[in-house]
Chains A and B, each alone.
Chain A
Amino acid sequence: AQKVTQAQTEISVVEKEDVTLDCVYETRDTTYYLFWYKQPPSGELVFLIRRNSFDEQNEISGRYSWNFQKSTSSFNFTITASQVVDSAVYFCALSEAANNNDMRFGAGTRLTVKP
């Protein structure tokens, strides 16, 4: 069975601080995909990144970076120099290749960036 755990329910930081959002997953498949989505107050889930299970390279995109470690089943997300506009709920999700687009989401982490 697939499962995603985001242990941090809420995080509050002051602008320009770095913040890391944790994600731990469980799956029995060897081929799977991991995702991060951002949900601003408007409600729409915004795609941020996808990683497949064979690609453990870390990724950096501007102020965003992701650390994928299969050894610890973790896919953590770091925002550097946070900004007020980063305030949102962030979801980590897992999709097993055999289950097509059945994505399992974590409970989400609400990030508040204060000015």
Chain B
Amino acid sequence: KAGVTQTPRYLIKTRGQQVTLSCSPISGHRSVSWYQQTPGQGLQFLFEYFSETQRNKGNFPGRFSGRQFSNSRSEMNVSTLELGDSALYLCASSGGTAAKNIQYFGAGTRLSVL
């Protein structure tokens, strides 16, 4: 069974640009969550999608958005990039119910904003 796949693995952008990251969950998983990891703030929850609907949202500005498709694949978009957006972005998938809330993570996308 394939794990969580994130593409691309590395990205370099400049301030003001926008970026889209992609996440393919484990087959059969309907929940996809996104996290940002930085040396200063650690691992922070961005948002969760379940059955194409945002179910939960962390404390991030509106520049951070996401969506989920009918096949459970998810994309995350960051507009008007800032230097502080440089981070490792991790995607996790889970079975979606409270009893199956073990989240399995992808290898992440490392975004550098210059």
Kindly state the interface size class of chain A when it binds its partner. Answer: 20 to 34
Does B33 sit at the interface, judged by CB under 8 A? yes
Chain A residue at minimum C-beta to C-beta distance from B106: A44
Number of residues on chain B facing chain A (CB within 8 A): 26
Residue in B55, B88, B101 whose beta carbon sits within 8 Å of that of A43 in the complex: B88
B contact residues around A93 at 8 Å (CB)? 43
Q: Which parts of B22-64 form the interface with A (CB within 8 Å)?
A: 31, 33, 35, 42-45, 48, 50, 55-56, 58
**Known interface pairs A100-B98, A101-B31, A101-B33; A45-B105 also in contact (CB < 8 Å):** yes
Bound CA span A93–B58, Å: 15
Chain A residue at minimum C-beta to C-beta distance from B42: A107
A98 CB to nearest B CB, Å: 9
B contact residues around A95 at 8 Å (CB)? 101
Bound CA span A40–B48, Å: 24
Residues B104 and A47 in contact, CB atoms below 8 Å apart: yes
Residues B58 and A43 in contact, CB atoms below 8 Å apart: no
Residues B56 and A108 in contact, CB atoms below 8 Å apart: no
Q: Which parts of B87-109 form the interface with A (CB within 8 Å)?
A: 88, 90, 92, 94, 98, 101-108
Does B73 sit at the interface, judged by CB under 8 A? no
Residue in B98, B103, B110 whose beta carbon sits within 8 Å of that of A103 in the complex: B103
Residues A44 and B105 in contact, CB atoms below 8 Å apart: yes
Q: Which parts of A1-54 form the interface with B (CB within 8 Å)?
A: 33, 35, 37, 42-47, 50
Interface residues of B (CB under 8 A from A): 31, 33, 35, 42-45, 48, 50, 55-56, 58, 88, 90, 92, 94, 98, 101-108, 110
Interface residues of A (CB under 8 A from B): 33, 35, 37, 42-47, 50, 91, 93, 95, 97, 99-108
User: Which A-B residue pairs are the 8 nearest by beta carbons?
Assistant: A45-B105, A105-B43, A44-B107, A43-B108, A102-B56, A101-B48, A101-B33, A102-B45
A-B CB contact pairs (8 Å), 12 listed? A33-B101, A43-B88, A47-B105, A50-B101, A91-B43, A100-B31, A101-B48, A102-B45, A102-B58, A105-B44, A106-B42, A108-B42
